[in-house]
Amino acid sequence: MQTWRRLAVVACVVLGMSGAASADWLDDATAAIARRDHRAAVNILKPPAEQGDSFAQNLLGEMYANGMGVAQDYKTAVKWFTLAAEQGNADAEITLGIMHESGQGVSLDYKSAVTWFMLAAEQGHAMAQYNLGAMYDMGQGVAQDYVKAHMWYNIAAMDGSNKYAAQTRDAMAKKMTQAQIARAQELASKCVAQKFKNCGS
């Protein structure tokens, strides 16, 4: 299955947080990553992560998933991503979806992947919306459904951040009837109007 793989460079994640978490540890972790002192970044992230900060938990998960400052350890990464996701961290939710979809650190489980993608998609996460489209397209974790695949690809394309979403949606449309495309567009509009809630199951 072709999904956006989330092999993020942690520095980009930290620097792109734009005030999502405002704490001294974030400045310190950013500085450590900028100077490529990943071990120091891990040591900085652990205390707030252990105290329940979802942003620190997600970033620590990234460090373990990518082997930055620590030995690569997908199971430990899953632990930190799960703690963050259980607090509604959309980045952690989509990463857990990808890990379930690929069997990294957990058993391969498409249904769980869909569940995590859906949680992030409901927060407006374009990557999760794209990945849901791919799950419906391929029939992984859900019944194959071109209308819902087109709907999610279309929604993912709306904010322009996913350059593949519009291309994939248009390719999907070539497999569909005009009635199916119209239905998918109607569902996409309804989903957006509902702020992405109750759109996919």
pLDDT tens digit sequence for 105-158: 999 999 999 999 999 999 999 999 999 999 999 999 999 999 999 999 999 999
Query: Is residue 58 within 8 Å of 89, Cβ to Cβ?
Result: yes
Three-class DSSP category at 66 = helix
The pLDDT score that the predictor gives to residue 2 is 36
Distances in Å between the Cα of 130 and the Cα atoms of 5, 72, 93, 164, 198 are 11, 27, 14, 9, 16
Domain range list for the chain:
121-201
Distances in Å between the Cα of 131 and the Cα atoms of 51, 77, 196 are 31, 20, 15
Stated pTM of the model: 0.86
The pLDDT score that the predictor gives to residue 12 is 42
